[in-house]
Amino acid sequence: MSAPGALLERWRETREGFAPLFLEPILEPAFAHLEPAIGPGRTCLDLGSGAGHVAAAVRACGGHTIALDVDVPELARARHRFPGGEALAADAARLPLADGSVDAIFCFSVLQYTDRPSAIAEMRRVLRADGRLVVVENLAGSPVALAYRAWRAIAGIRYPDRLTPRRHLAWSERGMFLRHFPIGRCDACSLISPLLLALPRVYAADASEGPHSPVRTWLNRVRRWDSAWLEAVPALRHGAWMLIFRG
């Protein structure tokens, strides 16, 4: 088992990923949940591994990794930048792994691109009985995300085929996780804070920003507002930007 907070620190050191400073408070509880299942002799599946930085952080904590993605060129780039572990090109809905073969699964923004029920069932199949799972997924009802998606459509900006969402997850669909992982927890994150991503200084900031930096200070203020409203008015969770499931 890795030391408490070690996975977050190793992830910070990579300085990789989408808007790292913005996502840090979302990934902090996610990584904390995974840590007891990470370490020597343990295998973590990074499902939708992309640039490979999360898998690299897991390996830095002593764990073995399987980086899985549908994008073969992206897998090759990741292996070049972060050598080590295994790499598999496959769809999350059809995992080429044996039953109960992994101790931990990290899945970030993948379910919108694949068959969700099949992917969740596959995660349950390959995860050991005492294993740990974290899924971080974009939600369908965020007004900020809806406006951004509409702008892209009007502007005629298309995603590459592999990054074209089939359908975003609705907060009301969270029960599909609990059917396979009944001892689990769903949380909604980020209500108006995604608006700050329109500011280049926020979008580009990495998690090495100091605790008293202006960007971190402003982000923390808006996040506290978000958290208070999401807690006080549960209906607002349908308009959150992200869901975190820990199982």
Question: What's the pLDDT tens digit per position in 161-208?
Answer: 767 788 899 999 999 999 999 999 999 999 999 999 888 888 888 877
On whether residue 1 sits in a domain, the answer given is: no
Of residues 194, 193, 195, 219, the one with CA closest to residue 206: 219
Domain of residue 189, residue span: 6-246
Q: Which pLDDT band, with edges at 50, 70 and 90, does 155 fall under?
A: confident
pLDDT of residue 53: 95
Total structural domains within the chain: 1
**pTM for this model (two decimals):** 0.94
The CATH number for 108's domain is 3.40.50.150
Neighbours of 168 (CB within 10 A): 17
